[in-house]
Amino acid sequence: MKTQTGTCAGDADTRRVLIAGGGYAGTSCAVALARMLRGREDVEILLVEPDPCQQALSELDLVAVGPPRPQFCELWHPTVFRDLPVTVCYNRVDHIDPARHIVRIGDGEEVPYWRLVVATGAIPFIPDVPGLIDNAVTMWSVEDAQELQQRVDRAFKAAARIASAEERRRILSFAVIGGGATGVEIMGTMSQMLPRRMEEHGLLPEELSVMLIEGRAQILYDLPDKQRDRAVQRLEKMGAEVITGEMVEWVDDRSIRLSSGRTVDASVVVFCGGAHADPHATGWDFETDNAGRIIVGEELKAPGFDDVYVIGDVSSFRNPKTNNVLPMLAQMAIQEGPHTAKNIYAEIEGQPTSSFTPHMRGEFVSVGPRWGVGWMYSFNLTGFPAIVMKRITYVKYWFQVGGISLAWKRTWEMLSMGW
């Protein structure tokens, strides 16, 4: 691996494959292509990514409120690319000019490409609800998990100083807005971990209030009915209140107002209300769908631009089997990355490229650290087997990008943290 922090320009004679974004899609693409190209000097792989660590977002439920260190979810690019012919330029792609086959990076430098892979992901979607952006923490990075841990710690310290039980209960009220997979996972972790942590701090767990608020009639709307009901039962068993069919009207630093007129106490609010494709994508001369994702054809190329692939959350690929756009999921991104690598390699070799066929083999949601719900092929899985399957998806990804040594190291770390 080579690192270029300032300039991204390389050798003008080599064919440059420029990958914008080093998340699940970009990293898995760079690794797969680098393994195929090892030993060749005529093709350069340049990854442009501002963050030296990949944020393994699907692992955030492990660390949201401690005790494991949130940095567990950071996969360092220098480790992944250590022995691979990938040059990493720690910068942002500012603009893409597909007509000129040029990318402009953060400091204004223009970098030409032979093939471009756009993999810039998504950002949290935050609706225009008064007070939401100022008072809620989103869950999109290790920094977000650290911020949530700090807010929880501050609430514990404030509660410990207060004599009035009523006021303590108010301060120990935590809410998660959004009953999709992320919201349920964070609520599950909070419901399970916070009583334990309160006991350790000498606080009374019965003074804790945790609630999940969802605007739709049900949580986990893309899971089978039975699995949703099981998740609700599990959350309620762990002491969480699950409020459905209620929109949030406003949020302040101590409470949330719901559409029914009810106001609930919430000194710490987490917002998990969904994702929005990288907003810059709409300004890059590619066709985008209503959600702002770049439309791609069957080979994951942007129509009209034969040298541009778009993969991961920022791309809008219609599954030919269902005619639905693929969901924003890591399991899609890590199939699209290696497929694109194979197609680029085929183009280098002058071979035909192939269409992408997505495989949705299952979906698992943790509800607390050691229990989950989900499905695999045509089976529903509940409880410990579901959580084992979810953790196996992490191990598979570590193996995919880092081989046996990374998979072993991180699995061991995960198990030794008690998960």
Ligand X SMILES: Cc1cc2nc3c(=O)[nH]c(=O)nc-3n(C[C@H](O)[C@H](O)[C@H](O)COP(=O)(O)OP(=O)(O)OC[C@H]3O[C@@H](n4cnc5c(N)ncnc54)[C@H](O)[C@@H]3O)c2cc1C
- Contacts to ligand X by CB under 6 A: 20-26, 48-51, 57-58, 60, 92-93, 119-122, 139-140, 182, 278, 280, 312-313, 328-331, 333
Cross-strand pairs, 110:
104
Distance of closest approach, residue 192 Cβ to ligand X, in angstroms: 17
* CB count in 10 Å sphere of residue 226: 12
Residue 397 near residue 55 (C-beta atoms within 8 A): no
Please tell me the distance from the alpha carbon of residue 167 to that of residue 400, in angstroms, as a whole number.
50
Please tell me the distance from the alpha carbon of residue 233 to that of residue 9, in angstroms, as a whole number.
56
The nearer residue to ligand X, 64 or 407, going by C-beta atoms, is: 64
Residue 239 near residue 271 (C-beta atoms within 8 A): no
Distances (CA, A) of 246 to 22, 234, 241, 355: 37, 21, 13, 42
The nearer residue to ligand X, 198 or 308, going by C-beta atoms, is: 308
The nearer residue to ligand X, 93 or 401, going by C-beta atoms, is: 93
The nearer residue to ligand X, 172 or 269, going by C-beta atoms, is: 269
Distance of closest approach, residue 280 Cβ to ligand X, in angstroms: 6
Distances (CA, A) of 234 to 184, 204, 218, 383: 11, 22, 15, 9
Beta-carbon-side half-sphere exposure of residue 321 (alpha carbons within 13 Å): 7
The nearer residue to ligand X, 96 or 198, going by C-beta atoms, is: 96
CA dihedral 234, 237, 241, 244 (to 10 degrees): 30
Distance of closest approach, residue 324 Cβ to ligand X, in angstroms: 16
Distance of closest approach, residue 165 Cβ to ligand X, in angstroms: 34
Please tell me the distance from the alpha carbon of residue 148 to that of residue 152, in angstroms, as a whole number.
6
Distance of closest approach, residue 329 Cβ to ligand X, in angstroms: 3
The nearer residue to ligand X, 21 or 70, going by C-beta atoms, is: 21
Distance of closest approach, residue 51 Cβ to ligand X, in angstroms: 5
The nearer residue to ligand X, 186 or 242, going by C-beta atoms, is: 186
Pairing of strands 248-251, 209-214: unpaired
Q: Name residues whose C-beta falls within 8 Å of residue 375's C-beta, 6 or more positions apart in sequence.
A: 223, 224, 227, 362, 363, 381
Distance of closest approach, residue 238 Cβ to ligand X, in angstroms: 19
Distance of closest approach, residue 5 Cβ to ligand X, in angstroms: 14
The nearer residue to ligand X, 208 or 294, going by C-beta atoms, is: 294
Distance of closest approach, residue 257 Cβ to ligand X, in angstroms: 25
* Token digits of residue 364: 């698992």
Distances (CA, A) of 66 to 147, 183, 230, 272, 321: 11, 16, 25, 18, 41
The nearer residue to ligand X, 22 or 179, going by C-beta atoms, is: 22
Please tell me the distance from the alpha carbon of residue 281 to that of residue 349, in angstroms, as a whole number.
30
Cross-strand pairs, 137:
270
Q: Which residue is nearest to ligand X (CB)?
A: 23
